Amino acid sequence: SQKIEQNSEALNIQEGKTATLTCNYTNYSPAYLQWYRQDPGRGPVFLLLIRENEKEKRKERLKVTFDTTLKQSLFHITASQPADSATYLCALASSGGSYIPTFGRGTSLIVHP
């Protein structure tokens, strides 16, 4: 069966360090992968989209890598700040489907000052 796995344990890091979050998947042929940020009591906010034929994408302090051989995406936040503390969700959309994203459960990031 299809699975998207994100680390359920919170990631605690010190301000200024790079945070790296992992998204692994099985039994998918993703057309693209998205990363969202979700704060308590709010809906997810889109951050980045990376397509199956792209290896890396950057946006300001954010970087996403996509390895379709390893079936893994890494999400990096450089020079992390306490304001980056949130839950980060990855979502995959399969080719051959309607491109509706399927979400992982998310990983909580806590950046300590």
Partner 1 sequence: EAGVTQFPSHSVIEKGQTVTLRCDPISGHDNLYWYRRVMGKEIKFLLHFVKESKQDESGMPNNRFLAERTGGTYSTLKVQPAELEDSGVYFCASSQASAHNEQFFGPGTRLTVL
Task: Please give the Cα distance from 50 to 76 (Å, whole number).
Answer: 14
Q: Is 28 in the site for partner 1 (CB under 8 A)?
A: no
Task: Please give the Cα distance from 78 to 18 (Å, whole number).
Answer: 4
Q: Is 83 in the site for partner 1 (CB under 8 A)?
A: no
- CB of 104: closest distance to partner 1 in angstroms? 6
Structure tokens at 21: 């979050």
Can you tell me which of 23, 30, 44, 66 binds partner 1, judged by CB under 8 A?
Answer: 44
Running DSSP on this structure, what letter comes out for residue 84? Answer: G
Interacting residues toward partner 1 by CB under 8 A: 4, 31-32, 34, 41-46, 49, 51, 89, 93, 98-106
